[in-house]
Amino acid sequence: MSLLTVRDLWVSFHTADGLVQAVRGVSFDVQPGQTLGIVGESGSGKTVCTQTLIGLVPGADVRGQAFFDGHDLLTMRPAELRAVRGARIATIFQDPLSSLHPLYRVGWQIAEMIQAHRNVTRRAARTRAVELLEMVGIPHAVRRIDDYPHQFSGGMRQRVMIAMALALEPELIIADEPTTALDATVQAQIIDLLRRLRDEFGTALVMITHDLGVVADVADEVLVMYGGRVVESAGRRPIYYEPHHPYTKGLLESIPGAAGTSGELRPIPGQPPSMIAVPEGCAFHPRCRYTMGRCMVDQPDLHPVGPGHRSACWLPGRLLGFGDQVEAERVAAAREVGA
């Protein structure tokens, strides 16, 4: 059984500028021990989507279902959700400095979180905090536990956040751009650590990122989001070598050195849509190379285009991957269907 099952999730916010439709019908599953990568650019809805699951979107209109271990997170009473959040679903945020309280020592913050969920003494919680800091590779943990967040470097702070996330041995960790604020070599350390912990404890991991390189390093399954919807979902291999959706393909062709591409950058023209006025039909159609008449009125749903590979695009399912041949076939197909 899936650990997390999200079905037809819709999230919108009322703002002064109008109704922001941040998430527009997202469904996905996370299996126990699996790592799911969610990729998308700013405003694609990837963060809102996961924050909704743990009740961090006050004031939003939320529709849909999100079953965690059989219980719907979206209809839980606040007390029930508090028992799940932190203990069974932990979150690691992008910016470790603003997620830690600057006026409390890190050890105190970890211990407090343990005591909030478990009936243990302060001393036991503190011992556990030292253990956790050692586990995530903070040198001289016994000494560092009484330091304040500002006394740690960016990479070390992110380790503290990971220690805190692991404190109650959660079944699911949601990591929202955990390495974006970090330098390359530190990013490598943190990804290494996440992989090691996942293998050791069998924790499921949802990794949200804009960096397709990070996803290549950790994910088993990848969701690509655009305009508040999932446009493609596949195992890590098909996403990189046989993308179907023109957005996924465009994203890869925008990255220097991505697999399968020719080496020349082919940027996606235009900009991501405003979530207040999302384009009719397929949200990607104003930027798409293969737009057909149908794309402007009819929104495609995810449908299978290969084993474990689904795409929300009207192009024929057999046209996967890169290369001049496929490219010509896509253009031809678009013209044919469009006529």
Residues 209-248 that bind other proteins (CB under 8 A): 210-214, 216-217, 236-237, 240-241
Q: How far is the CB of 322 from other proteins (least distance, A)?
A: 12
Judge whether 176 and 141 are in contact, CB under 8 Å: no
Per-residue contact flags (x/-) with other proteins for residues 127 to 166, judged by CB under 8 A: -----------xxx---x-------xxxxx----------
Of 154, 307, 322, the residue nearest 250 (C-alpha): 322
Task: Characterize 288-297 residue by residue with b for buried, 16 or more Cβ atoms within 10 angstroms of its Cβ, and e for exposed.
Answer: bebbbebbee
User: Among 15, 98, 121, 271, which residue interacts with other proteins (rule: CB under 8 A)?
Assistant: 271
Cα–Cα distance measured from residue 257 to residue 262, given in angstroms and rounded to the nearest whole number? 9
C-beta separation of 101 from 149 below 8 A = yes
Q: Which is nearer to other proteins, 24 or 159 (CB)?
A: 159
Strands 172-176 and 89-92: parallel
Torsion of CA 271, 274, 309, 210, to 10 degrees: 60
Does 16 interact with other proteins (rule: CB under 8 A)?
A: no
Tell which positions 42-81 bind other proteins, by CB under 8 A: 42
Contacts to other proteins from residues 175-194, by CB under 8 A: 183-189, 192
Shortest separation between residue 67's beta carbon and other proteins, angstroms: 31
Q: Is 259 in the site for other proteins (CB under 8 A)?
A: yes
Could you tell me which stretch among 28-36, 261-269, 275-283, 316-324 binds other proteins (CB under 8 A)?
261-269
The reply on whether position 95 binds other proteins by CB under 8 A is no
DSSP string, 258-288: -TTS-SS--PPPS-PPPSSSPPSSSTTGGG-
Which of residues 162, 223, 252, 295 is near other proteins by CB under 8 A? 252
Q: Which is nearer to other proteins, 119 or 185 (CB)?
A: 185
Instruction: Compute φ and ψ for 150, nearest 5 degrees.
Output: -70, -15
CB 278 within 8 A of CB 258: no
Q: How far is the CB of 7 from other proteins (least distance, A)?
A: 29
